[in-house]
Amino acid sequence: MIDTIGYIAAILTTISFLPQALKTIKTRDTSGISLLMYAVFSTGVFLWFIYGVSILDFPILIANGITFIFSIIILTYKIINVRIEVKMRKNP
């Protein structure tokens, strides 16, 4: 029972980034999204992945590998938008 709660929790926190990634790809709107959050989060999730590989824990490895892909997509769109903003401020 307790294990089941853990598995459901892991699945939910992993798949939750899918609708965000899809929304970001579709709308390219990242105005409300924090660059710092996704920079720190992507680093953290990548370290979780390394940790999972090191101790050969497949749930940690797989969940964080998938989350890392979603997170890096959102981060990339945010960086592209920030760069466009900076350019437009310089050449309005």
End-to-end CA separation in angstroms for the chain: 59
CA gap 90, 70 in Å, rounded = 31
The token pair at 80 is 């592209």
Binding mask 21-60 for its own copies (x = CB under 8 A): -xxx--x-xxxxxx-xxx-xx-xxx-xx-xx--xx-----
Output the smallest distance, CB 11 to its own copies, in A: 8
| Identity of residue 46 | F
Residue 11 makes contact with its own copies by CB under 8 A: yes
Which residues make up the interface to its own copies (CB under 8 A)?
A: 2, 5-6, 8-20, 22-24, 27, 29-34, 36-38, 40-41, 43-45, 47-48, 50-51, 54-55
